[in-house]
Chain A
Amino acid sequence: MIEITKRGLLAAVAAGALLAGSASAQEPIRLGAMYPLTGGGAVYGVPAMAGHQLAVEELNARGGIMGRKIESVERDDKMNPSAASATMKELITKDRVHMVLGGLSSAVGLGMAEVSKQEKVVYLATIPKTIQLTTDKLHKHVFRIAANTDQEGDTLAMLAGKYKLSKICHLQLDYAYGHDLETGFLKALPRHAPNAKVVLTLKPKLGATDFNAFIPQVMAAGCDGVISGLWGPHFVSWVKQAAPLGFFDKIKWISGGEIGSHEIAGELKGEYPDNVISNTYELWYHAVDDTHKAFQAALAKKLGTKETPQWALLGYNGVMFAAAAIEKAKSLDPDKIADALEGLTIKTPVGPLTIDPKTHQSNTGQFWGPMVKKPGVAYRVMDPVEFIVPKM
């Protein structure tokens, strides 16, 4: 008797749940987000995820996408291609997300693009820069809104010309990003600085902390400038080991890898060296217009500091692109979302962005400029700031 009662109760509860389900709004739109949240990549992944969350919160406050709430399914990509691929498969098959955003390392981005190809679910790469994503490994469902290594290499070459470098030492990290940035730079160099010569090329390994085998070689090579792709901790370790030797007194350091961001300047403070020209996606002290100002204010409120990190913008833009594409497609079908993303233009905090229908690459601009001392400011700031948008 008791059994039956229990079963009846369960049935009633289940029926009730079903009724409630159909009475309330439709099921939410699920966006998978993957960034490194632990280990070395967390420095960038955590702020990128914060930007992702900010965009989801803003959209949900406005009523979501097509009247449906957005549910953000967030995972740690561990900055490891094989772990990231497994996690992404799980997001698609188990959590049934409608799109996947994120990735940070170029190697992870390539792995995620492969899963997206197999599972036929749209992957929007927000940070990985390797050119392969939008050339050799390009397929229907992969898109990128980060700058790519060809664009960054082109700007580096332009700056080599602008600062009249004649003998260049070339430093790149020994993995996908470094190799592709090297190619991008060398391709563009004859166009922008026909008289410049690369006299030395060195490739420290990814994650290297000791550069003592490289610093003397660069100092002995007699170059007037370094073109570098040493990002984040690599740059910081290089500075710490080279600056005592007067390395930065004579040599111009023109660098990709966003070492012009406030994360690096604010941490190195007085130790940030002279003669550095670099890039960043976003600068909290430099707003281009009121939309940008509003974004910075909202992010500052979310993170509890006005000195916000640049990476948040990429996570934020990813969600905004996803939302715009789904609205345009009026469907959650991956093929239709992919079609909608081709040629799509959205307004972002730093101006309009368009995804090229052929290459699936957006024309993401970056702020570039020299890092200078300012009286009364404890850290270096980029000044003058130039926003360079790549040609499509």
Chain B
Amino acid sequence: MTFSTFLLNAFYGFGLAMNMFIIAAGLNLIFGVLRVINFAHGMFYMFGAYIVFTVTKSWGMPFAVGVVASGLGLAVIALFIERFLLRRLYDKEHLMQLLFTFAIVLLMSDAAKMIWGTDQYSVGYPPALRGAARFGAVIVPQYLVFLCLLGPVLAIAMWLAVDRTRWGRIVRAATQDREMLAALGVNVPAVYAMVFVIGSALAGIGGALAAPRIALVPGMDATIINECFIIVIIGGLGHMWGSFLGALAFGFVVQFGTVFVPNWQDVLPYLLMLVVLLVRPWGLLGRPELSR
């Protein structure tokens, strides 16, 4: 492998990682605060992609408008789900919550079939990012460069929001001890709703941003949710920089693994997860769960 092909593959691995991070970050945020494993996250991602299709292709609006619409659309759907359904299940055991989010998957997949049918769709690149970018001998799609820049920006923005603002302190407090937080006069249900809405909107935005690179088909939710779980587990459940690191590990392992050992492409991400689970069951950056 020459240095330029190495660089090329490293870049692609990073691009894949950032694409995945944007999606997995929302799942991770929701788990960190609500302690709910949201199986419907992949479905939210698919809805994001389909919404950007409708906005750009059917209504002829610019791609950026479509991305915003996907975020807002999923925020509305998430608010409805949290306010009227999920809120009743916070005190129930994990199995109930899992079954509930799985039911949401089934409902939304039927809804998607009713709204968009079963056709295959494609979303065009935004005109400014249609071509290729050249870095010396390395030629890469401009759109992937854009994703590579957006990922870290989003990570830093999330870190600032969670670590440096009053709202972020409340959210972190909610992960520690919700009863105490409520006793201090904070409206914990509102915090939960907000986190669920933001996490879901991130899934929608992730789907919208992924849409120009892939074919939109029913069932695209199923693969992505597995990959998101791998990333979140590798990084440490509920830890934001953990999922950033998890996404990087996932991206590089998939990219270089597929190049060097193509027959193992299916297994490698799971193998990675297995190794992490054996060595550090709480993930790369997570902390061992204390009994509370």
Which residue numbers of A lie inside 8 Å of B, CB to CB?
A: 37-43, 45-46, 174, 202-205, 207, 209-210, 212-214, 216-217, 220, 232-237, 240-241, 244-246, 263-264, 267-268, 270-271
Q: Which residues of B contact A236 (CB under 8 A)?
A: 120, 122, 214-215
Distance from A186 Cβ to chain B, minimum over Cβ atoms (Å): 18
Given A46-B118, A216-B5, is A39 in contact with B222 using a C-beta cutoff of 8 Å?
Answer: yes
A213 pairs with B141, CB closer than 8 A? no
From the candidates B142, B213, B217, B262, name the one contacting A203 in the complex (CB within 8 A).
Answer: B262
Among A213, A232, A237, the most chain B Cβ lie within 10 Å of the Cβ of A213
Q: Which 8 pairs of residues, A with B, have the shortest CB-CB distance?
A: A40-B219, A213-B258, A233-B215, A236-B215, A42-B118, A212-B12, A244-B141, A39-B219
Q: Mask for B120-137, Cβ within 8 A of A = 1, else 0?
A: 111011000011100000
From the candidates B15, B118, B144, name the one contacting A43 in the complex (CB within 8 A).
Answer: B118
Count chain B residues whose beta carbon lies closer than 8 angstroms to a beta carbon of A. 42
A216 pairs with B120, CB closer than 8 A? no
Given A46-B118, A220-B5, A268-B122, is A209 in contact with B262 using a C-beta cutoff of 8 Å?
Answer: no
Q: How far is the CA of A159 from the CA of B113 in the complex (A)?
A: 38
B220 pairs with A209, CB closer than 8 A? yes
A267 pairs with B121, CB closer than 8 A? yes
Q: How far is the CA of A90 from the CA of B12 in the complex (A)?
A: 47
Q: Mask for B193-229, Cβ within 8 A of A = 1, else 0?
A: 0000000000000000000111101111011000000
Q: Which residues of A contact B132 (CB under 8 A)?
A: 244-246
**Contacts A/B (CB < 8 Å), 6 sampled:** A40-B217, A213-B259, A240-B212, A244-B125, A245-B141, A267-B122
Given A212-B255, A216-B5, is A38 in contact with B113 using a C-beta cutoff of 8 Å?
Answer: yes
Q: Which residues of B contact A204 (CB under 8 A)?
A: 265
Distance from B191 Cβ to chain A, minimum over Cβ atoms (Å): 35
A244 pairs with B143, CB closer than 8 A? yes
A212 pairs with B265, CB closer than 8 A? no
Q: How far is the CA of A207 from the CA of B109 in the complex (A)?
A: 18
Q: How far is the CA of A41 from the CA of B130 in the complex (A)?
A: 29
Distance from B213 Cβ to chain A, minimum over Cβ atoms (Å): 5
Closest Cβ neighbor of B16 among chain A residues = A210
Closest Cβ neighbor of B223 among chain A residues = A207
Q: Which residues of A contact B139 (CB under 8 A)?
A: 245-246
From the candidates A209, A245, A263, A271, name the one contacting B120 in the complex (CB within 8 A).
Answer: A263
Q: How far is the CA of A217 from the CA of B2 in the complex (A)?
A: 12
Question: B9 in the interface, Cβ–Cβ < 8 Å?
Answer: yes
Distance from B205 Cβ to chain A, minimum over Cβ atoms (Å): 18
Closest Cβ neighbor of B129 among chain A residues = A244
Q: How far is the CA of A214 from the CA of B214 in the complex (A)?
A: 15
Q: How far is the CA of A216 from the CA of B212 in the complex (A)?
A: 19
Distance from B216 Cβ to chain A, minimum over Cβ atoms (Å): 8
Question: B104 in the interface, Cβ–Cβ < 8 Å?
Answer: no
Question: B158 in the interface, Cβ–Cβ < 8 Å?
Answer: no
Q: How far is the CA of A241 from the CA of B140 in the complex (A)?
A: 10
Q: Which residues of B contact A205 (CB under 8 A)?
A: 265-266
Given contacts A210-B213, A267-B122, 20 further A-B contacts (CB under 8 A): A39-B219, A42-B219, A205-B266, A207-B223, A209-B213, A209-B215, A209-B220, A212-B12, A213-B12, A213-B265, A217-B259, A220-B5, A237-B213, A237-B214, A240-B214, A244-B142, A264-B120, A267-B119, A270-B124, A271-B122
Of residues 247 to 264 in B, which have CB atoms within 8 Å of A's CB atoms?
254-255, 258-259, 262
Distance from B185 Cβ to chain A, minimum over Cβ atoms (Å): 47
Our count of residue pairs bridging A and B at CB distance below 8 angstroms stands at 110
Q: Which residues of B contact A244 (CB under 8 A)?
A: 125, 130-132, 141-143
Q: How far is the CA of A267 from the CA of B53 in the complex (A)?
A: 11
Question: B8 in the interface, Cβ–Cβ < 8 Å?
Answer: yes
B218 pairs with A40, CB closer than 8 A? yes
Q: How far is the CA of A299 from the CA of B55 in the complex (A)?
A: 29
Closest Cβ neighbor of A242 among chain B residues = B141
Q: Which residues of B contact A210 (CB under 8 A)?
A: 16, 213-214, 254
Q: How far is the CA of A203 from the CA of B258 in the complex (A)?
A: 10
Distance from A79 Cβ to chain B, minimum over Cβ atoms (Å): 8
Given A244-B143, A268-B122, is A232 in contact with B215 using a C-beta cutoff of 8 Å?
Answer: yes
Q: How far is the CA of A157 from the CA of B210 in the complex (A)?
A: 35
Q: Which residues of B contact A209 (CB under 8 A)?
A: 213-215, 220, 223
From the candidates B109, B121, B255, name the one contacting A213 in the complex (CB within 8 A).
Answer: B255
Q: Mask for B13-52, Cβ within 8 A of A = 1, else 0?
A: 0011000000000000000000000000000000000000
Q: How far is the CA of A203 from the CA of B265 in the complex (A)?
A: 10
From the candidates A202, A220, A232, A270, name the one contacting B262 in the complex (CB within 8 A).
Answer: A202
Q: Which residues of B contact A45 (CB under 8 A)?
A: 118
B217 pairs with A43, CB closer than 8 A? yes
Q: How far is the CA of A220 from the CA of B137 in the complex (A)?
A: 12
Distance from B208 Cβ to chain A, minimum over Cβ atoms (Å): 15
Q: Which residues of A contact B5 (CB under 8 A)?
A: 216, 220
Distance from B6 Cβ to chain A, minimum over Cβ atoms (Å): 11
Closest Cβ neighbor of A232 among chain B residues = B120
Closest Cβ neighbor of B19 among chain A residues = A210
Q: How far is the CA of A216 from the CA of B105 in the complex (A)?
A: 36
Q: Which residues of B contact A202 (CB under 8 A)?
A: 262
Q: Which residues of A contact B266 (CB under 8 A)?
A: 174, 205
Q: Which residues of B contact A212 (CB under 8 A)?
A: 12, 15-16, 144, 255
Distance from B255 Cβ to chain A, minimum over Cβ atoms (Å): 5
Distance from A371 Cβ to chain B, minimum over Cβ atoms (Å): 15
Distance from A244 Cβ to chain B, minimum over Cβ atoms (Å): 4
Closest Cβ neighbor of A266 among chain B residues = B119
Distance from B224 Cβ to chain A, minimum over Cβ atoms (Å): 8
Distance from A223 Cβ to chain B, minimum over Cβ atoms (Å): 16
Given A236-B122, A245-B132, is A42 in contact with B142 using a C-beta cutoff of 8 Å?
Answer: no
Q: How far is the CA of A208 from the CA of B130 in the complex (A)?
A: 22
